[in-house]
Structure 1
Amino acid sequence: MNNSEKDKNLLFQIFGNESHNEEEKKYEKLGVKFNPFPRSGTSNINSGDFYNAYLVPIDSGAEKELNQFIGHSLTANVLDSDDKFISATVVGDYGSGKTQFLMYARYLLNIIESSSERQERPYVIYIDNPGLNLLEFIGSIISKIGEENLKKYLWENIIHRIKINPNLKSRLTPFSVRENLLFQENIDPFADDNIVSYKKFLDSFVKYIPSTTQRKKFDVEFKSILTTILENETKDTVVAHYFYEFISGDYGINKTWEALTSGTLKQLNGKEASIIKYVVKLVKKQGFTDFFILVDEFEDITEGRLTKTQIDNYVYNLRTLLDEQREWCLIFSMTPLALKKLKSVSPPLADRISSRTILLQNLNKEQACSIVRNYINMAGKPNSILPFTEAGIEHLKDKVEGNVRRFLKVAFALVEKAATNFVSFDDRINREFVENNLISIEEE
């Protein structure tokens, strides 16, 4: 048997006689275009707004609380416009749908940001790892902004500061004068076409510096200007130094992105408020009005990953950070046990982050039907639960004890089995079908 025949044999073992086109048609008898349920039962945090738009919270009370929270968070603080702080905590057992709830919150904020009918432009970040200490938490936030984006925001701000400051601008002027010109004019580094990107701005200087000695003078002068701007804006020389190190790689020195995002720069311990305050400031200079952080899996902090001393340090530092940094809005998710432990470890922090609590409970019959309807709608059949029946959905809900994750995982497997076994368009995933297939599914 040659390699080609071996390959065909392996494909037959996996797919049988089905061709790729037949695979696409496998769900037709179910009345759907594809299997919309997540095979793992968990949300895909990288899914786009098209996907999340279908997954409206099945608990109308929780949905209402989320809408109210977002509305209140985007309402201007008349007494102090810089004080944007507001926080909520989504509480639910493992597998209760907390991650998908945060994905829907992100979708709503993105809708607001892109709406031409609203003035608010919220910037939203989702993180699923709060880290082992506060510096790692801040690093996760910076990482989600992205290296190139943060670099771009920093450079745009720096170039703007130089351009509007005659003193700083004059210090760079000698390096933009080209010698021995006959038919060419001097380059204006601050011309519109040279400040469209930091790379063009830097090139307008370094590309025409004639000697190594002159280049060294430029590096010294430019570093002095950068650190002056960063120190003025961060109000902290240590923080300014590391932001300088991060961007200085763009003209030949080095950068510290990995260290910034991993939280390994121990010199920045205690500087978290200064870092995040400057990052939020840079983001808002891009036209965003509000800064949202969605923090998933916060139970990791209190449920076994950290020692008691680490927990104490983390919650104390986070409480201090929330007192100092008031220009953001946060939504945390955690289990009821984690919130209970947090209240025992640090009542002040628990009060700050859970002033609004959104409780996600196990599925009831109506909610189970709603979640099936949401997913089936995504697969091309509006306002329908078919091929499921209400009795089949209720039986599945009872068997998984209302746990959303298990419910969705089994629903995916049931659709796959139905696609293989159904012979008629009238076949249904009813109580009997669920009962007959549940044991084999859970053993897989």
Structure 2
Amino acid sequence: MDSQHTSRRSILALAVATPLTVGALASCGSSGPGAAKAGEATIWYLSGAPQETIRQNAVDAFNKANPDGKLAVTLFQNDAYKTKIKTAIGANQAPTIIWTWGGGGLKSYADAGQVEDLTSWFAENADLKSKLFETAFAAGSVGDKIYAMPCETVSPIVLFTNKAVFKQVGVSEPTTWEEIMELVPKFNAAGIAPFSLGGQSRWTNMMWLEFMFDRVGGPEVFEAVFNGEADAWSNPASLQALKMIQDLVKANGFINGFQSITADSNADQALLYTGKAAMMLHGAWTYGSMKSDGGDFVSKGDLGYMNFPSVAGGKGDPTNSVGNPSSYLAISSKATDEQKTIAKKYFKDGLLTDAENEAWIASGSVPIVNGIDSKLGASDDAEWLKFVYDTAANAGNFAQSWDQALSPTAAEELLNNIEQLFGLAITPEQFATNMNAVIGK
């Protein structure tokens, strides 16, 4: 994932332009901010409200309960963090606990021997592992080994609808891909765009491919790409999914000029809640901004939401989801035994506590904790939060966003080719050829 994609994820809110040191930060000296006082471990977190406060409060509570084994926190703005962590790891000056998005970035750390293998530790702490969504572990693993602790919240990609527009046109919400294609001409005839899309941002288009690959061919199709199998993008299911996406583009399924609309400005969301578009495929993190910016759109019940519809004859489980299955924390293999012990204690006792979970729920998010749905009823957004919980907890497979799962090189090539695919500048076959060339890079 590169910097221009950060605003879509609630966990990646940006706040300051330089690192911000807070709490019981160790004196850095000449060894840099990865260093710690005796009896302390270090953790680097991302800044930005409200997540920053929730993270800091969790560390403060842990430190109060563990005065002889504290965590020293350094907060970084997103882009600054990505640069700093690469430099620190390369110089063997990483913090004890490393924030990671999992996927391709974590794999590079694991392949280089820079992060601790936590597989046996999770086996010894089976009660902790069973507490968390099972689907959260895939992106924190490399092969059959766990290298990162899943934490915080889940954000699936969701198909949103404007119920008032559906009522106006006299049609029902789709349950299959075939019904989606039947709705397209009906909405166009009514002067309403079938789908809003911030296509200039590119990663918004990617969400369509993620679901189409899954619904047509199942999660194995992209897993073959992630595992570096030669010509994996040329799978017949891949080519079929790519063609179906272009069929939707050719049928004017997306709002006119979608390639000049940005998601970072929330313009795509505005098209949905103002009734200029009937549907939008987007992340769960957009719910809060539609609630705050869309007038009474959410409060009066005009916002609909569902998991992505099935495809006739498709191999994918209709319960499968894609998006952000979790956030992740890894432990530096270069940390001392004392620091590793503090980190593991924080993983077990300091994360996803009752107090932290309540704070995440109050922020409009769903913690990755089995049974947390029993705590959601008191929220004003209870129905929405329950939907997010059910989508994540019951997913047959929860795939990580592709631009996070792949290496930075492959992710950038992917986004470039997706832009051309949606612009009808390349064929599905050309897309596959271009992407096959960067498999494993």
TM-score tier by shorter-chain length is under 0.3
Bigger radius of gyration, 1 or 2? 1
Structure with greater strand share of residues? 2
Structure with greater helix share of residues? 1
TM-score normalised by L of structure 1? 0.26
